[in-house]
């Protein structure tokens, strides 16, 4: 028997309905009643979409904010009364909200729960199953679903050293949670089974799943990363209703007991290219012929993709993309060709079979070759002493002040961009507005007395999208929205061919800014790791290859910028640490890639050009080796909210360091006194000549008056600190 299973269809909806509902409810423009009705309607639409194409799909996916928060609340980690939406949203986005963290190397952020010190879990009435408001209609037809306990334990703020006691307590809690759906098929999502260390935890896990499998028909669904072979083998001994296995090179499918369906995860959930269904059919048909019950499924939940391909595509992409809805269609087609393959060995194909094959054949075209040959890696940069000496001509004071790049983006600017897009404004008129904004930013920075200036990035919508628009080989989608966290969405661009710099990227804006001031202006570029991490990658092209090609495109820009007399270049790599591979054995290779990519971008610059690196959103414990291989002259970090002692791991490195004078995410004014105290705290870990003074990230999302107040205080604090030296 062959069936199709899909999961994670974007809760955002085809037209960002989810975002509108949440934001309307939060702002008070949508009543509680209308909000819940709206969610029901959205869920009905999602279910109908599943129903149209696939056999099996989950119930209860339409989280009120984040599935991990749902689980934490259901298990009583944060006790709430039934229906207390205000309490729930306070946990998601109030003053004491749980921290956000990237989810399994994707660009979705989940809320990170805190486990109780003593393993005690008390399921909360009204928050588990049946699901809280807005999604119970799904329970009639879909498979009830929950995130599994292993994923909770591994992804918490405080993962326990020993899982045994926690898993024991969670066994009781989950058994209680599933009572309302006792005996039914339940989908337990366990992406953490692919993490390092799952093998050691197996005995406890087997006990947990074994017990739960007595209460419900349990389908165990790992995804994203294939679990170790030993883990799969062990899970395959359990009396499960279904076991998910990610089909990847080198993964062999386990023998499962009679009655267990193999959930073969075959179509992409993180990439956008259509699947070669005929090839997949060849691989799967021997399995189908054994009589094994097979469910074909995606390798990741579908919410990392936009809802559907809903715009006219350029020729190179037409007929090649599959977003979430197209993935459902792929599963249906795959099932059709598998069914015909297993029934029609002897007899000539029936007309329906012919159609299925014809459709599958027409569905897929192989990708064009990735035709890119990188130039040789430059030799390393000149020694640091030589660079420091050459850079003295920047004539910077002790504790130099600078910003990270973006200045507040006003509504006016966003309107200009909208009008440029809709062609209501031509390029020349738009450029005049941009020049105006740059002029104002430079004037402001001179008045404030900053030392290294920026043009303020008024021309950038988003730090990746902007480069995707200027580089050939990228397609920045118009409507391809994906949920980032809560109600926040973004549009990942699609890299489909080797990136080529057909026009300058930052040259024009940077030179214009530099023409207005004698102070050095930084050229600011988004780095190759971040460009690759926050885009969909070309078909069949490894992350590594994409990074190198992007680095090469940036290298040309950086060379040209320097040849025009720009003296400071900054590379932004906010994705650097979040892309740290989840599997330890892949980390050395990643470190080497980061070093090589950075060298390709800045390695040919003369010693007098000062190279800055900016990083954010990170846990900096892993940072040091990266700074060693990248060897920038100055690094700025998003560290203003961390305890200054995080610098301990960076002592002894001989580079300039700007750990962040104030937190750009807060609208509050930070008095000069407080900034001074913060800077002094940094000096406990750094010699004076290495401390830089800067906000901890770009100022784009601040109001102009908020940015101004804090920059003023920051410069004032730097001046006072200089007096003390």
Q: Which residues are catalytic?
A: 665
Contact 7, 221 (CB under 8 A): yes
Contact 456, 407 (CB under 8 A): yes
Q: Which is nearer to ligand GLN, 63 or 406 (CB)?
A: 406
- Closest residue by Cα to residue 174 from 223, 210, 212: 212
Instruction: Please state the closest distance from residue 173 (CB atom) to Zn ion, in A.
Output: 39
DSSP secondary structure string for all residues of 563-609:
HTT--EEEEE-TTTTTTS-SSGGGHHHHHHHHHHHHHHHHTTS-TTS
Helix intervals (H) in 449-527: 465-470, 507-514
Q: Which is nearer to Zn ion, 305 or 697 (CB)?
A: 697
Instruction: Please state the closest distance from residue 722 (CB atom) to ligand GLN, in A.
Output: 25
Token pair listed for 490: 């973004």
Instruction: Please state the closest distance from residue 435 (CB atom) to Zn ion, in A.
Output: 25
Q: Which is nearer to ligand GLN, 64 or 571 (CB)?
A: 571
Q: Name the residue number minimizing CB distance to Zn ion.
A: 616
Token pair listed for 683: 């000096």
Q: Which is nearer to Zn ion, 697 or 718 (CB)?
A: 697
Q: Which does 329 bind (CB under 5 to 8 A by kind): Zn ion, ligand GLN, none?
A: none
Instruction: Please state the closest distance from residue 637 (CB atom) to Zn ion, in A.
Output: 8
Q: What angle do CA 215, 217, 221 make, to 5 degrees?
A: 115
Q: What are phi and psi of 90, to 5 degrees?
A: -65, -35
Instruction: Please state the closest distance from residue 459 (CB atom) to ligand GLN, in A.
Output: 12
Instruction: Please state the closest distance from residue 582 (CB atom) to ligand GLN, in A.
Output: 22
Q: Which is nearer to ligand GLN, 329 or 614 (CB)?
A: 614
Instruction: Please state the closest distance from residue 617 (CB atom) to ligand GLN, in A.
Output: 7
- The distance from CA 193 to its chain's CA centroid, rounded to whole angstroms, is 20
Q: Which is nearer to ligand GLN, 520 or 698 (CB)?
A: 698
Question: Rounded CA gap, 659 and 626, in Å?
Answer: 16
Q: SS3 of 240, please?
A: coil
Contact 677, 662 (CB under 8 A): no
- Residues whose CB falls within 8 Å of the CB of residue 290, separated by 6 or more in sequence, listed in order: none
Q: What are phi and psi of 698, to 5 degrees?
A: -70, 155
Q: Which helix (H) or strand (E) holds 535?
A: none
Q: Which is nearer to Zn ion, 305 or 635 (CB)?
A: 635
3-state helix, strand, coil in the chain (%, to 5): 40, 15, 45
Residues forming the site for ligand GLN (CB under 6 A)? 404-406, 457, 463, 524, 572, 574, 614, 616, 697-698, 700
Question: Rounded CA gap, 447 and 36, in Å?
Answer: 51
In the DSSP assignment, the letter for residue 620 is: G
Q: Which helix (H) or strand (E) holds 422?
A: none
Question: Rounded CA gap, 716 and 580, in Å?
Answer: 37
Q: Which does 524 bind (CB under 5 to 8 A by kind): ligand GLN, Zn ion, none?
A: ligand GLN
Instruction: Please state the closest distance from residue 490 (CB atom) to ligand GLN, in A.
Output: 12
Crossing angle (nearest 10°) for helices 672-682 and 704-723: 60
Instruction: Please state the closest distance from residue 572 (CB atom) to ligand GLN, in A.
Output: 4
User: Sheet of 242-246: strands edge to edge?
Assistant: 2-4, 294-298, 261-267, 242-246, 217-221, 185-189, 143-147, 58-59
Instruction: Please state the closest distance from residue 697 (CB atom) to ligand GLN, in A.
Output: 5
Q: Which does 274 bind (CB under 5 to 8 A by kind): ligand GLN, Zn ion, none?
A: none
Query: Tokens 């000062």 sit at which residue?
Result: 610
- Closest residue by Cα to residue 487 from 63, 114, 55: 63
Q: Which is nearer to Zn ion, 47 or 616 (CB)?
A: 616
Q: Which does 470 bind (CB under 5 to 8 A by kind): ligand GLN, Zn ion, none?
A: none
Q: Which is nearer to ligand GLN, 231 or 569 (CB)?
A: 569
Task: Give the count of beta carbons closer than 10 Å to the beta carbon of residue 137.
Answer: 14
Q: Which is nearer to ligand GLN, 268 or 573 (CB)?
A: 573
Q: Name the residue number minimizing CB distance to ligand GLN.
A: 698
Question: Rounded CA gap, 463 and 505, in Å?
Answer: 12
Question: Rounded CA gap, 633 and 613, in Å?
Answer: 8
Token pair listed for 665: 């995410």
Instruction: Please state the closest distance from residue 698 (CB atom) to Zn ion, in A.
Output: 6
- Residues whose CB falls within 8 Å of the CB of residue 690, separated by 6 or more in sequence, listed in order: 654, 655, 656, 657
Q: Which does 463 bind (CB under 5 to 8 A by kind): ligand GLN, Zn ion, none?
A: ligand GLN
Q: Which is nearer to Zn ion, 381 or 455 (CB)?
A: 455
Which member of 155, 218, 568, 616 binds Zn ion (CB under 5 A)?
A: 616
Q: Which does 406 bind (CB under 5 to 8 A by kind): Zn ion, ligand GLN, none?
A: ligand GLN
Which member of 100, 697, 709, 714 binds Zn ion (CB under 5 A)?
A: 697
Q: How far is CA 718 from CA 51, 188, 248, 570, in A?
A: 62, 54, 54, 21
Q: Which does 455 bind (CB under 5 to 8 A by kind): ligand GLN, Zn ion, none?
A: none
Helix intervals (H) in 645-685: 672-682
Q: What angle do CA 497, 503, 509 make, to 5 degrees?
A: 130
Q: Which does 405 bind (CB under 5 to 8 A by kind): ligand GLN, Zn ion, none?
A: ligand GLN
Residue ranges that bind Zn ion, judged by CB under 5 A: 616, 638, 697
């Amino acid at each position: 028997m062959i069936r199709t299973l899909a999961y994670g269809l974007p809760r955002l909806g085809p037209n960002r309905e989810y975002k509108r509902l949440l934001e309307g409810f939060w702002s008070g423009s949508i009543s509680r009643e209308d909000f819940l009705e709206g969610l029901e309607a959205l869920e009905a639409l999602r279910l109908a979409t599943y129903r149209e194409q696939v056999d099996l799909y989950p119930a209860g996916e339409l989280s009120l904010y984040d599935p991990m928060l749902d689980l934490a609340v259901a298990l009583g980690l944060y006790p709430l009364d039934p229906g207390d939406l205000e309490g729930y949203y306070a946990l998601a986005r109030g003053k004491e909200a749980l921290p956000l963290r990237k989810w399994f190397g994707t660009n979705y952020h989940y809320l990170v729960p805190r486990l109780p010190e003593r393993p005690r879990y008390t399921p909360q009435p009204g928050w588990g199953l049946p699901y809280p408001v807005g999604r119970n209609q799904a329970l009639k037809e879909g498979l009830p679903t929950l995130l599994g306990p292993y994923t909770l334990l591994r992804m918490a703020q405080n993962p326990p050293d020993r899982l045994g006691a926690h898993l024991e307590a969670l066994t009781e809690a989950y058994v209680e949670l599933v009572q309302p759906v006792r005996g039914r098929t339940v989908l337990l999502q366990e992406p953490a089974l692919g993490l390092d260390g799952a093998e050691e935890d197996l005995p406890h896990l087997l006990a947990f799943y074994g017990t739960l499998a007595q209460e419900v028909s349990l389908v165990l669904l790992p995804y994203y990363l294939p679990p170790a072979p030993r883990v799969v083998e062990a899970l395959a001994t359990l009396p499960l209703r279904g076991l998910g296995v990610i089909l990847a090179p080198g993964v062999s499918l386990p023998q499962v007991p009679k009655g267990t369906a193999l959930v073969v995860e075959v179509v992409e959930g993180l990439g956008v290219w259509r699947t070669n269904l005929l090839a997949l059919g060849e691989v799967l048909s021997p399995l189908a012929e054994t009589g094994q019950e097979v469910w074909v499924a995606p390798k990741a939940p579908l919410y990392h993709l936009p809802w559907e391909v809903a715009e006219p595509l350029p020729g190179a992409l037409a007929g090649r993309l599959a977003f979430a809805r197209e993935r459902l269609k792929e599963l249906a087609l795959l099932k059709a060709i598998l069914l015909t393959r297993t029934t029609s060995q002897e007899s000539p194909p029936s007309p329906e079979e012919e159609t299925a094959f014809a459709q599958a054949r027409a569905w897929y075209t192989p990708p064009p070759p990735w035709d890119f040959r990188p130039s040789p890696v430059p030799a390393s940069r000149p020694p640091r002493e030589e660079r420091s000496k050459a850079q003295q001509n920047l004539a910077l004071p002790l504790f130099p002040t600078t910003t990270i790049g973006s200045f507040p983006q006003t509504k006016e600017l966003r309107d200009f961009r909208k009008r440029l897009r809709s062609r209501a404004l031509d390029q020349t008129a738009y450029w005049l507005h941009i020049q105006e904004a740059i002029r104002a930013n430079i004037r402001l920075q001179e008045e404030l007395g900053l030392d290294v200036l920026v043009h303020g990035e008024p021309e950038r919508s988003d730090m990746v999208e902007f480069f995707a628009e200027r580089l050939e080989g990228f397609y920045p989608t118009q409507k391809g929205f994906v949920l980032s966290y809560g109600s926040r969405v973004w549009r990942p661009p699609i890299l489909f061919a080797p990136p080529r710099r057909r026009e300058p990227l930052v040259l024009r804006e940077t030179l214009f800014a530099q023409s207005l001031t004698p102070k050095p202006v930084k050229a600011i570029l988004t780095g190759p790791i971040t460009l690759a991490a926050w885009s969909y990658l070309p078909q069949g092209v490894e992350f590594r290859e994409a990074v190198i090609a992007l680095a090469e495109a940036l290298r040309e820009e950086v060379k040209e910028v320097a040849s025009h007399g720009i003296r400071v270049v900054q590379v932004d790599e906010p994705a650097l640490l979040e892309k740290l591979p989840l599997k330890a054995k892949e980390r050395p290779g990643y470190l080497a890639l980061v070093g090589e990519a950075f060298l390709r971008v800045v390695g040919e610059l003369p010693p007098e050009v000062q190279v800055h690196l900016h990083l954010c959103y990170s846990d900096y414990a892993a940072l040091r080796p990266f700074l060693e291989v990248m060897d920038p002259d100055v690094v700025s970090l998003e560290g203003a909210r961390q305890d200054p002692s995080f610098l301990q791991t960076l002592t002894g490195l001989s580079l300039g360091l700007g750990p962040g004078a104030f937190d750009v995410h807060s609208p509050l004014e930070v008095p000069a006194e407080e900034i001074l105290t913060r800077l002094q705290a940094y000096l406990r870990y750094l010699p004076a000549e290495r401390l830089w003074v800067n906000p901890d990230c770009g100022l784009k999302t601040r109001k102009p008056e908020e940015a101004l107040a804090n920059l003023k205080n920051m410069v004032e604090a730097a001046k006072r600190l200089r007096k003390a030296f």
